[in-house]
Structure 1
Amino acid sequence: MRIKEVIVVEGKDDTVAIKRAVNADTIETNGSAIGEDVIERVRLAQATRGVIILTDPDYPGERIRKIVAEKVPGCKHAFLPKEEAIAKRKNGLGIEHATPEAIRRALQDVKEEMKEYISEITWEDIVDAGLTGGEKASDRRMRLGKILKIGHTNGKQLFKRIQMFQISKEAFAEAMSQVLQEEKK
């Protein structure tokens, strides 16, 4: 599988994991202290080939995703579910621990950022679905993010991603139905 876009990852081990899974070029941020030289390379990659951000499904990874997306508009996003990024033999969480199949699935489900789109889904829909403030809210957001392939977030970030990735009211309703069915089991 050849990926045209350049994939932004956190470090060298992530690059190794990407290259085991697909034929692609990467840019490493080397952590969350992203230098202007890295941002310039990402800007150049975005202008010439496009960019996919694939960072670890944890707080630092989300922080890096946010910084890059703010400084380089129009990036695409790939998300790896936490359970597919957990180290098998030692403690650790990250892209470097994912199987090649999991990485390929994440890259096949790339989401494109659309800042000018206003979703049919309102903040009230998020609240009414029990995705904020309740004891089951975090678990519901995690499962919803996995079904919609937009990652696990807090309530406000979930709403922003639903807007950004143009999740339709129909897709949201179907995914919430699945989340609630799983809850009953």
Structure 2
Amino acid sequence: MKVKEVIVVEGRDDTAKINQTVDADTIETNGSAVGKSVIEQVRHAQAKRGVIIFTDPDYPGSRIRHIIDQAVPGCKHAFLPRDEALAKNPDHKSLGIEHASAQAIKHALQGVYSLSDESYYEIEREDLIAAGLIGGANSRTRRERLGELLQIGHTNGKQLLKRLTMFQITRNQFEEAMSQVLQEENNDC
């Protein structure tokens, strides 16, 4: 699989894993203190080929994603579910793209999103409450699974509506994903 855009990752282990999986070029941020030179590289790559931000599914990864997205508008985003990014060795409690399978990385890169500044709201807060995504006993688990299915990453209750709107998730996409979440819950019972 060849990726046209340049992929922004956190470090060299992520680059190595990406290069084992797909044919792509990367820019490494080397941590969450994203410097001016990295921003300039990303800006140049965005102008020439486009950029996919693909950071670890944790707070530092989210921070890096936010910094770059604010500095270089128009980047695409790929998300990896937390459970796909955990180290396989139980003694090594690390989380990152470097621990993901090739299949998980390909799936994340095939499901990239472009953020939108358009502020239309097809899904409302009441929909999230009715779906048990906010304020319920299983809300966190449901949000995690919904984020995986829609490939929008893990969010807390406050962030979910914003993320659904940013990625222009339609009511139909939301309802189909929620139907699958509820069906999986019922099958587990």
TM over 0.5: yes
Shift of 1:155: 1.8
**Overall identity of the aligned pairs, in %:** 63
Q: Does residue 46 of structure 1 match 2:57?
A: no
Amino acid at match of 2:123: I
Q: Aligned partners of 1:48 and 1:135: how far apart in 2?
A: 47
CA positional deviation for 1:138 = 0.9
- Partner residue in 2 for 1:127: 129
Aligned pairs for 1:1-185 (under 5 A) are 1-89=1-89, 90-184=92-186, 185=188
Matches of 1:127 and 1:177 in 2, distance apart?
15
Secondary structure, in 3 states, of the residue corresponding to 1:140? helix
TM (norm. structure 1) is 0.95
Partner Cα distance (2:120, 2:65) in 1: 21
Q: How far is the alpha carbon of 1:42 from its aligned partner? A: 0.8
**Aligned to 1:158, what secondary structure does the other structure show?**
helix
CA distance in 1, matches of 2:66, 2:158: 14
Structure 2 stretches of 5 or more lacking a match?
none
Amino acid across the alignment from 1:135: A
For 1:69 and 1:157, locate their aligned partners in 2 and report how far apart those are by CA, in whole Å: 16
Tell me the number of residue pairs that the alignment of Structure 1 and Structure 2 aligns. Answer: 185
Gaps of 5+ in 1: none
Quote the Cα distance in structure 1 between the aligned partners of 2:179 and 2:102.
30
2:40 is paired with a residue whose SS is helix
Equivalent AA in structure 2 for residue 180 of structure 1: L
Q: 1:80 is paired with a residue of what secondary structure?
A: coil
CA RMSD of aligned residues (A): 1.2
SS at match of 1:42: helix
User: What displacement does 1:17 show?
Assistant: 0.4
Q: CA deviation at 1:133?
A: 2.3
C-alpha displacement of 1:117:
4.8
List structure 1 segments (4+ residues) > 2 angstroms apart after TM superposition.
Answer: none
